[in-house]
Amino acid sequence: MSETQIISYEPATGAELWRGAVGDVDDAVARARAAWPQWAAQPLANRIELLRRFANEVRKVQDDFAALIARETGKPLWESRTEVEAVIAKVEISVRAYAERTGQRKLDSALQGTAALRHKPHGVMAVLGPYNFPAHLPNGHIIPALIAGNAVVLKPSEKTPATGEMLVACFHRAGVPQDVVQFLLGGPEEGKALVAHDGVDGVLFTGSAQVGIAINRKLASNPGKIVALEMGGNNPIVVWNTPLVQDAATLIVQSAFTTAGQRCTAARRLIINSAMYEPVLEEVKRLTDRMIIGAPFDEPQPFMGPVIDSDTADQLTESFLYLISHGGKAIRHMRRPQGDLPFLTPGIIDTTGALDRPDVELFGPLLQVVRVDDFDQAIAEANNTRFGLSASLVGGTPQEYNRLWANIRAGIVNWNRPTNGASSAAPFGGVGLSGNHRPAAFYAADYCAYPVASTEMEQPRASVGVGFS
């Protein structure tokens, strides 16, 4: 165990919440490798039963868990509660997904024996978690991996380690062996060591495109290691002709500013029909003016808490100023209302005439607006990104939605719904810089086990044919 300490601070207060010593990557991987064969050899029903016990353990501490997430991330308590509920629900969803996506198949043929399809676990899986959903998103990898028979080493974000520790503790209290699922505390160096470790058979990552690309590059010469990358997006929400202006504005605000904009599916770009621009933006401004921004336990509950830390808040305000200085027009200024704490007011900028619109994921409550005059231009603008995670059309006709659906490059395409809030019972992932074609959520079962095709007979039977005298 290292003497180096990682400290977690509460974004809403700046107070120290938790601290711990950096872990030993080699030791964690060695213990996982030693524990994996016995875990994989257990009947599937036994593993599922232990994970159902895990769900019950989370239920027992549901309120405390939600409070910890709220303190460590700064998100409102109501939202933290929904995250804990998602952790619990993930077990039954993953049980069903494993049966549907990786179930066993047999086809009997009297003379040719049996053709069988089964699935095997990879071995030791490294799960690298993000800070925005520090329980739900790593858990979305861990549960399917454990059901399939893998061992797991979780390295949570160094910004939210306390949540990761509590998550793993719930697995252990449920009876999952301590070496089968482990909590590894560390920063970027430990993450790099875990990714590159010869004893790790798979890397399951959720986070920024920059880090995901680095992982992909590092493992490019090692095709034997399964890699699943979920890397966020520069997501468009397209607003077209609709008389329901208030509803459209509400969907925009929900898409752009839920979780203080710290969702990979958050709307970063509002692409709007010029005819709808004035009424919709006026209503968006009215809604954001009414928005309560505050600490997790404030009453009444806020809609939006702080971003994760002051460095992130500084980067976002600098991005706002950059867009303004390069031709953007402020619709709503981004401000720091509580001094040095990382609270931000939503920033909205018209970047239609901007000289430079960087194609990056600005991970916070910052929305760029682009006016367009026809639907083809709207689709082209929506696709004007290297990312491809989420997109939504608000308004429009069924024919226009079909056109957008057919032409947009994104893994999640919604109509008259927010860009965020994807279902765990569906696949979750994108194209381009948003992922490497290994969608998570319901399809996580696909990368947690590999298919094995077999032809089998109880006794050897063969005959020679053409080419023998």
Cite the active site residues: 230, 264
CA–CA separation, 443 vs 436, rounded Å? 13
Rounded to the nearest 5 degrees, what angle is found at the Cα of 21, between the Cα atoms of 69 and 159?
35
Classified as helix, coil or strand, 209 is helix
| Pairing between β-strand 235-239 and β-strand 267-273 as defined by DSSP bridges | parallel
CA atoms of 260 and 469, how far apart (whole Å): 78
DSSP 308: S
Query: How far apart (Å, rounded) are the C-alpha atoms in residues 127 and 237?
Result: 31
> DSSP code of 174?
T
8 A C-beta contact, residue 188 and residue 34:
no
Distance (Å) of CA 96 to CA 19, 89, 114, 439: 37, 11, 26, 16
Q: Which amino acid is at 31?
A: R
Instruction: Quote the strand ranges of 233-334, DSSP E.
Output: 235-239, 267-273, 329-332
Q: With b meaning 16 or more CB within 10 Å and e meaning fewer, what string describes 313-352? A: beebbebbeebbeeebeebbebebeeeebbbbbbbbbbbb
Please give the Cα distance from 238 to 92 (Å, whole number).
34
CA–CA dist 109, 414 (Å, integer): 45
What's the Cα-to-Cα distance from 88 to each of 74, 83, 276, 375, 422, rounded to whole Å?
A: 21, 9, 41, 42, 16
Residue corresponding to tokens 């997501």: 235
CA R_g for the chain: 24
226-230, strands of its sheet edge to edge: 181-183, 151-155, 124-128, 202-206, 226-230
3-class SS of residue 280: helix
CB burial string 399-423: b at 16+ within 10 A, e below: ebbebbeeebbbbbbbeebbbbebe
Task: Report whether 248 contacts 272 (CB < 8 A).
Answer: no
